[in-house]
Structure 1
């Protein structure tokens, strides 16, 4: 599978030894790759999108020639609207064929900036201001989504945006729904001064050949924001060279033009864009995007195996939380075409790996990457030993070191085999010293003037496999003793009733922090918190790591790509622990919310409710987390 065998560290080293990266004479720009792929595979299927999840629902499939032509028309349109090489086209969109057209057209004409449509208006506005976007592509008002409303509200605080291009998803529907949408479409009344146009009508008038020179220079072509759903995200810069490197890896190590991928991940995230689509673009494969919301779309999990049969899917692109949901449903279709499931976003519990393999007879390949490195860092070899729980072998031309560093990036120690430290990465996707658009965010981010500090803790084993042990900021410090939350999560995930686990440190007046865990159950499963606590005591070898508290939640908060969103868990723990302490002292004061402060971190908001503030401050002063009276 793939052009090169990727079976071991030795095989990886052979690829590197063949020739240096700089001598591979790869295309310089995204337009180079697109035109080359369209030239080779013009009539072949490039991308399929269906707005509804049923295996017989209407789908729109674009050939490579059509995708090329529409992308060029979009790039020409953006240039006609004043977008130059250093200007930004932002999009706030769910998945659709137009999203891919905007993605590539934005890169070819200038810099593209995908924005998570789940963000709130003030966060969208913040990203638009940080990037200086001139053009925004988004949805026209559509039922059951507030994307259009949020974007137009955000534009009131983003004065650099001069043009808005709207996409109407109604064109993907069939009657009678297609007839009903115009009757119930939400009305959006812009209060900003940007000019609003219909995206598809605007590009239709543009020529299908570039009206400007595609300068063959390596430059920043994309801005991707980081973070989840609180705070103001940072914006990472991606150069053509890093994007092309990610595409080259997928097309040479994972799949080729005969493969069909299904990718229900959002096209505002590097996993879907750089790992999946850029590799599809490079190889000339066929990729399927089911529903605008991907895995979150109505019926996607219920119809997933049938969609694999419909399209003859060979590669599944997924994340652990999606695998967990799929394992709650029977494999009710012919999935014999399926070769590999590629999982990223977060480490996969061993138990979940085994459940999937048993149900599908397909192994999962775990990969690791991060927005700040453009994306890919490592993966379990497709042709070799898969060490369950590891994220595999660093890709060719990727140098991974496990380091201990000072705050300014000075290396104090290089860790040995099996020794845990910070994972630091150097590869063509790392833009040294220029990771973020805001230079103040780059301080201390590079180790030894070469390696990106990921903030992840990990180790390399004797075979060169990389293991993630947690986030540096996630470490639970219990009375000076460091506890890795992954140990707790791995243990509890082994329980048959458990679907998702998030472990954090909850405040404690004596130890500083104590481990606690939040659990989401498999659909239909039944277990008590006491039973889970007993299970934890039995399966967590380190006594100090046994959770002090376990809470079963209907649904654990997650990011747009399915990661457990730990800031919300920490807020919940702070509120619970502080309120219990106040109640134990007979005080009526209560924590009513926990907010994130840029300088102080999470801050409890306290209402006095007639209580003695002095006594309340004495009680809460035993904890390390700050608080304010409201």
Structure 2
């Protein structure tokens, strides 16, 4: 592969056409994530690949690996996995906060079989279901030294496993402590057990581009999350389009604070730097959730010469309030994604640091990144331009017809990063995959409403399922949110539909406020009414919260807001006839009313007036003692 073909100019929006004039197949990308690592180790064997911090307080005492050292550990770990029966079509589950051993373990799982990262914060039944779907019989997990709570969840999964391989904290020294006995399961410390394995080569066949590399769960707040499959080709192409950014070079330093069960951590901060031989500085096990990190963050940027970082809006909102007590001249730009970026967060971060915030867009089913922004060429109101070789198109939600540039419809993605499907079962050939309604003719339905302009820039308009339908009139929640975000005291906003017996739904909103703000909810309702573009979109209520609900990786979680709005609506309508609640079940909000047998007919009649799923639970009658 020639460097000219590998690294075209990709510095501004106009470069896209020239890049795509060369067929992707001619660029000679590595066949797999393993081949990518081998290439990096051959080109820069003694270059520093990873710098992993034990925690923020010990930022000057990290564990470092060269590219050659990373490859050697991947060989050791993959050969050990092979000894434990892992083969090409078999998944290896990984459940641990970030630590220095988790990085080679993840790549080793992709080499020996298929990596299946799990979020240890999920409910136990969700973890068991994901493990069952993946088919993994080997689990790599945090030990009691690193994360006691995760270790206990791992022990509870023992009945589904043959082998548990344990990770130690970053920088742990001395012999590993004895592990508690887990009945019927082989347990060992991963690095200790792999120390005698061959570091020079992998004993099995290397993966092909069409082989599965990973199974990522997509969600996890309620209901059993789905497992989205990625091929090695999916991950390689997406990582290359990230690395092809002309703002990067071999001297660039990436900061990583997202957990490795999230695709951004894998693709953007682990795989993409391998293409150019860049180093990545990894935060401690809590990542961006470590309070101490923010107190020392700017010093950390100065110490390691951090060039860029990737995080969610809440991280930048916090950093905008952290005193700038270091020289951060190396920080060229910062990338933000996973949820919409409020203008106030962008303005405060950029004013505080002088560092440009660049929005991106992507989702697990399209591997990770599908749109990017460019330094020095802002496109307000967009999340960036589509990335090379991916096709992003808005389609009519009813007919499926492609819409003209600038027209709003459901955003679809096609191209080499679109996943092959969700895991729905297993057969003699391995995992059975299905698009589950998200894939049609190779196109991925993102579920987002968007317009794509003539230059390929994506203008998000909200989630298709988040549309508020008032008396048959579609209301984009973004127009309500934008109106509220224009208020100087509002720092975040979420608008949803509240069930209404006459209109079907009416808009309501939830907000967070800046510290010391004195505005009340009635004032915010009046403000929104004056600033929304149409009367029908004016929210009926505005509720102030300490924080808006979010998933574990910082994405807004609107089902929780819809559930609260449903509970309030049902409570008002019942007039004391029962105790109203609402829960989210597999992404659907269900009203739940607990009442007496006597009041149940009245309750059912009230619930019938709302177009929401509902159930009635009868409260046991108290027995009367003689």
TM-score, normalised relative to structure 1? 0.90
Partners of 1:131 and 1:362 lie apart in 2 by: 41
Match of 2:141 in 1: 138
Matching residue of 1:167: 167
Q: Aligned residue for 2:406? A: 418
- Looking at structure 1, the residues matched to 299 and 493 of structure 2 have their Cα atoms a distance apart, in angstroms, of 28
Matched residue of 1:299: which SS? Answer: helix
Distance 2:424 2:482 in 1: 36
For the Cα contact (< 8 Å) 1:164–1:195, is it kept in 2? yes
Distance 1:468 1:98, change over 3 A: same
Of 46, 60, 64 in structure 2, the residue corresponding to residue 61 of structure 1 is 64
What is the aligned residue count? 604
User: What displacement does 1:154 show?
Assistant: 3.0
Q: 1:35 to 1:325 in 2, by over 3 A?
A: same
RMSD: 2.5
Compared CA separation, residues 91 and 56, structure 1 to 2 (3 A): closer
Secondary structure at the residue paired with 1:95? coil
Relative distance call for 1:54 and 1:501 in structure 2 (3 A) is farther
Match among 90, 102, 107 for residue 104 of structure 1: 107
Contact residue 422 and residue 433 of structure 2 kept, 8 A:
no
The residue that corresponds to 2:20 in the other structure is 16
Separation (CA, whole Å) in 1 of partners of 2:616 and 2:180: 38
2:579 to 587, 590, 599: 590
* Range 4-13 or range 44-53, more displaced: 4-13
1:474 matched to 2:466? The reply is yes
Return closer, same or farther for 1:530/1:416 CA change in 2, 3 Å cut-off.
same
Check if 1:79 corresponds to 2:68: no
Partner of 1:427: 415
Question: Secondary structure of the residue that 1:591 maps to in structure 2?
Answer: strand
Is the 8 Å Cα contact of residues 316 and 341 (structure 1) preserved in structure 2? yes
For 2:147 and 2:485, the matched residues in 1 are separated by 34
Work out whether residues 48 and 65 of structure 2, in 8 Å CA contact, stay in contact via their aligned partners in 1.
yes
CA contact (8 A) 2:77 2:191 kept: no
- Other structure's SS at 1:413 match: coil
- 1:242 lines up with 2:242 in the alignment: no
Assess, with a 3 A threshold, how the Cα gap between structure 1 residues 522 and 173 changes in structure 2: closer, same or farther. Answer: farther
Query: Corresponding residue for 2:494?
Result: 502
C-alpha distance in structure 1 between counterparts of 2:369 and 2:416, whole Å:
10
Structure 1 residue 490 displacement after superposition: 2.6
Cα 1:56–1:288 shift into 2, 3 Å: closer
Query: TM-score w.r.t. structure 2 length?
Result: 0.91
Paired position in structure 2 for 1:308: 301
2 CA distance for matches of 1:299 and 1:388?
Answer: 33
Instruction: Report the Cα offset of residue 188 of structure 1.
Output: 6.4
Taking structure 1 as reference, are residues 56 and 104 closer, same or farther at Cα in structure 2, changes over 3 Å only? Answer: closer
Structure 1 gaps, min length 5: none
Deviation at 1:215, TM superposition (A): 4.7
CA pair 6-534 structure 1, distance change in 2 beyond 3 A = farther
The alpha-carbon distance between structure 1 residues 39 and 273, as it changes in their structure 2 partners (threshold 3 A), is: same
- Counterpart CA distance in 1 for 2:487 and 2:103 is 40
**Cα drift, residue 507 of structure 1:** 1.2
Query: CA contact under 8 A between 2:508 and 2:539: conserved in structure 1?
Result: yes
Q: How far apart, CA to CA, are the structure 1 residues paired with 2:317 and 2:598?
A: 46
* 2:568 is the counterpart of 1:561: no
3-state SS in 2 of match to 1:238: strand
Aligned to 2:543: 551
Residue in 1 that maps onto 2:29: 26
Q: Which runs of 5+ in 2 are unaligned?
A: 1-5, 426-431, 618-626
Given that 1:237 and 1:437 are in contact with CA atoms closer than 8 Å, whether structure 2 keeps it comes out as: no
| SS of residue matched to 1:457 | strand
Number of the residue aligned with 1:284:
277
Asked if 1:202 corresponds to 2:173, the answer is no
Residues 28-77 of structure 1 show CA distances to partners (whole Å, capped at 9, x for unaligned) of 12221111111222222211122321375532222212211111111111
Distance 2:330 2:189 in 1: 39
